[in-house]
Amino acid sequence: MTTTAVTDETERALLARTPTGLYIDGRWTASENGSRFEVVDPSNESVLASVADAQPGDGRRALAAAHSAQPSWAGTPPRVRAEILRQAFELVTIRADDLALLMTLEMGKPLAEAHGEVAYGAEFLRWFGEEAPRISGRYSIAPDGANRLLVTKRPVGPCLFITPWNFPLAMATRKIAPAVAAGCTMVLKPAELTPLTALLLAEILQDAGLPAGVLNVIPTTRAAEVTGPLIKDGRLRKLSFTGSTAVGQRLIADSADQVLRVSMELGGNAPFIVFEDADLDAAVDGALAAKLRNGGEACVAANRFLVHRRVAPEFARRLTERMAGVTVGRGTDPATRLGPLINEAAVSKVSGLVEGAVASGATLALGGRPVDGAGYFFPPTVLTDVPAGAAILDEEIFGPVAPLVAFDTEDEAVRLANATPFGLVCFVYTRDLDRGLRLSERLETGMLGLNTGVVSNPAAPFGGVKHSGLGREGGREGIEEYLETCYVGFADPFARDGIWFTSET
């Protein structure tokens, strides 16, 4: 990670060389009507850049390019696809300073966290580059001996990716990398709030040798009008979305007409459970990581802190003390640990949830009010004795707020943790291995962090259950989302005239 101070000139120079057009069929282009939209710095509400605003016709052009490139890309040798991903990994690593600063400017996260996302996002390129040559099928004998069974894998086909604003690089590479490895072409619609990182990534992938038409990037302020027709188009074969459950549910319904393969990484309501035997120092460290990473604007952020009544006061004291020491500021300041929220709507939502909790009987131990001045800042906030029924326990907060609830027994902790339609991730702190193993089966979740506050890893299958989504991203499972299975049955080659024979016959 660079130690060079970020200056106004550094920012201007980076923004000046960052692409701002649509990327379609290997070319940078304006939208069909020339329209553009502004990208705003959430730390000071200044305009960073204006970006081409894709229209419905641009979406059709992007899908046509992906569809046209699909046959040749599917026929490209796996090793060639792997080498492109390896080269992309190296170029992302080389340009880490640019990518990290760009994410800090358009999304707000501290520069150190942005560098962490660059390393995380780049690793998907390397991981799936290594998986590309390992795509394989199987050959076997049918149980009745009459046939031989050949199972092969082939690319799903053109994909539409809709990515969120909170991890502008990693959410793109987590989808692009397995698609490239599998031999699929793509149309990427990045979030309206943070399109610049995706456009710079497209330039890097072009430099890495990705052929024209394989990846197409179309930022837009008219998401439904641009992507809706693509979802209904028979040329599209897969949809992958990361975002809210409400939007995901609509997209699943829209995809039914074409029976699209869908991958949905949706909302969360992660419980962070601390038992009476937990190492409290480790639990507080994990709580800070699970709560404040990305400013709490993450689907895997700890949303509810369930703490055994015996240790709840001490845990609350330590957590409040640590969160009170967190420096809030612009992400380019090296002292900043917590940047701004993404926009005014996010501040209003978090403020409303905190106010509602206090009105229902919770105690405000720290923070609770937006920071005055320019930018969308909200301070680290701790709420204790949050009563059942408070909206803050049911909704995804997406901010630096930790609501604490006490429990008495393991059964009660499980009941509270599972009392949500979501099931993306849970965090558990306990020294009891048997309890940890029990909870891995009792908690309704796609992922479990046992004595750790961070679970995301490119080598692991990321995803949830219930209203938290469908499918998995990352790990060996991730590439299967982009592969179709084809079975070929053929007659027993050792049979003649219906009579089985051997070489000794």
Q: How far, in Å, CA of 451 to CA of 421, rounded?
A: 24
Task: For residues 58 and 33, give the distance between their C-alpha atoms in angstroms, rounded to a whole number.
Answer: 9
Burial of residue 396 (CB within 10 Å: 0-12, 13-18, 19+) is buried
Q: Strand pairing partners for 334?
A: none
Question: Burial level of 489, CB count in 10 A (0-12/13-18/19+)?
Answer: exposed
Assess whether 265 carries a catalytic annotation. yes
CB–CB of 265/233 below 8 Å? no
- From 117, 299, 426, 480, active-site residue: 299
**Which one is catalytic: 117, 123, 131, 265?**
265
Three-class SS of residue 425? strand
Rounded to 10 deg, the angle between the 78-94 and 196-207 helix axes is 130
User: Residue 106: phi, psi to the nearest 5?
Assistant: -90, -20
State how far the Cα of 44 lies from the Cα of 34, in Å rounded to an integer: 28
Give the up-direction half-sphere exposure of residue 85: CA atoms within 13 A in the CB hemisphere.
30
Q: How far apart are CA 493 and CA 407, in angstroms?
A: 65
CA 85 – CA 80 distance, rounded (Å): 9
Report the run of H or E that residue 434 belongs to, with start and end.
Answer: helix 433-442
Give the strand pairing for 469-470 and 186-189: unpaired
Pairwise CA distance, residues 107 & 130, whole Å = 30
**Residue 129, both tokens:** 């580059």
* Best CA proximity match to 52, nearest among 65, 33, 71, 70: 33
Residue 426 falls in the annotated catalytic set: no
Amino acid at 173: T
Helix axes 96-107 and 8-17, enclosed angle (nearest 10): 100
Which 3 state secondary structure label does DSSP give 220?
coil
Q: Which residues are annotated as catalytic? A: 265, 299
